[in-house]
Amino acid sequence: MSRINDLIQELCPDGVRYVALSDCTEYSSTRISASELDETSFVGVDNLLPNKAGKTEAKHLPNSQRLTRFTTDDLLIGNIRPYLKKIWLADRTGGCSGDVLAIHIKENFTKQLQPQFLYYLLSSDHFFLFDQQHTKGGKMPRGSKQQVMKYRIPIPPLKVQEEIVRILDSFTSLEAELEAELEAELEARSAQYQYFAKELLGKDTKSRLKLGDAFNLSAGNHISANQIHKSSDVSNKYPCFGGNGLRGYSSKYNHEGIALLIGRQGALCGNIHLVSGKFYATEHAVIATPKIDMNMTWAFQMLKQMNLNQYKTKSAQPGLAVKRLNNIAFALPSRKKQDIIAASLDKFRTSTVNISSGLPAEIEARHKQYEYYRDRLLTFKELDHA
């Protein structure tokens, strides 16, 4: 950081000029024929990756014949759902769909603004927050091309830009390397957890029951959108499943104790949630409450290990029927053994998959550290023209 501070003190001690994007860049106005493109040179909004991860090869080629042309060092930004933070600095010539903004530096600014420096400015959370503030639409919010061009950026001397790009390139490379190592470790631990869970939960036991013997199983009930808005309980007071892999709302709820929610329709089949207290279920879930003395944390782990998704019906809309769930057999160890297994797996699972602890938190901490230093490097005092 000392070199960049020395450069700023030497070249722009009083601050730097800020300009609107429209002053230094413009949207591409040239076109390219679809026949000239392939999976590597066509960029649709679907193959721009979220969270500034660049792009992947297109799975589908464009339908329209004429597309917006981009060239090397143009910036491509996803204009649908800007909160996904899709951006890529082009390393080739190609064509993009209308839902992708192709921004290139104006000719009279090519000796004042480095493409890589502009990329770092526009891949900042500050820019994407600005973009989100000017979106229109509900389910598929779209950014405003006019407002994007009003975003103001600093134009420090080229030597300062080059040093910042060098630092951030090094940070990015180091962060990617460390994140890959951490993710590999997390993957290894996850595999260990799966093996450990299978060993603990898969041992044969003399005591076998059907799910219907151990649980009261009942499907949730639908509640209309109008009723949801009228009910302060549903909208504010209690968790609704709802999100986290289970959809819809229900007038059913549990007053006390612990229950399991089992996803029962479509892609949600077999999803398991452990809940306690008062909650609203869904018509897409089966509510399971214990009939017998049982460690419900153990039961949660056991049902996950059983992969209930395999019991869904094979139809146009696959689902898990309560009647079928009632007849699925499972092994029931003693309560003492349930407690030991639940405690062991909970400890292992917390360090492996809980985002608030262990390796995932370390990955997140490193990412935040990178974002902090990048914001510091890209923040300049504005030159006073008065």
Q: What span, in angstroms and rounded, lies between the C-alpha atoms of 370 and 212?
A: 51
Q: What residue spans of 71-207 are helical by DSSP H?
A: 115-122, 125-132, 145-148, 158-201
Class of domain 204-332: alpha beta
- pLDDT score, position 238: 52
Mean pLDDT score of the chain: 82
Peptide bond before residue 44 is cis, with ω within 30 degrees of 0: no
- pLDDT score, position 4: 87
Two structure tokens written together for 217: 């199983």
Lowest mean pLDDT among 148-162, 216-230, 359-373: 216-230
Lowest mean pLDDT among 81-95, 101-115, 170-184, 250-264: 250-264
Classify 187 as helix, strand or coil.
helix
Question: pLDDT tens digits, residue range 306-343?
Answer: 888 888 877 767 788 888 899 998 888 889 988 988 88
In the predicted model, what is the mean pLDDT of residues 177-190? 75
User: Where exactly are the structural domains of the chain?
Assistant: 1-15+157-183+335-386, 17-155, 204-332
Question: Which of 155-164, 214-223, 245-254, 330-339: highest mean pLDDT?
Answer: 155-164
Two structure tokens written together for 1: 């950081």
Q: From the DSSP assignment, how many helices (H) and strands (E) are in the chain?
A: 13, 16
- pLDDT score, position 345: 82
- pLDDT score, position 27: 97
Query: CB within 8 A of 72, min separation 6: which ones?
Result: 90, 91, 92, 93
Which of the pair, 370 or 349, is modelled with greater confidence? 370
Question: With 70 as the cut, is the pLDDT of residue 253 above it?
Answer: no
- pLDDT score, position 274: 84
Two structure tokens written together for 33: 């024929």
Q: Are 290 and 346 in contact (CB under 8 A)?
A: no
Residue whose C-alpha is closest to residue 77's, from 154, 65, 68: 68
Residue whose C-alpha is closest to residue 260's, from 288, 291, 282: 288
In the predicted model, what is the mean pLDDT of residues 7-33? 94
CATH number for the domain running over 17-155: 3.90.220.20
- pLDDT score, position 291: 92
- pLDDT score, position 223: 55
Which of the pair, 201 or 246, is modelled with greater confidence? 201
Residue whose C-alpha is closest to residue 189's, from 179, 201, 197, 200: 197
- pLDDT score, position 115: 96
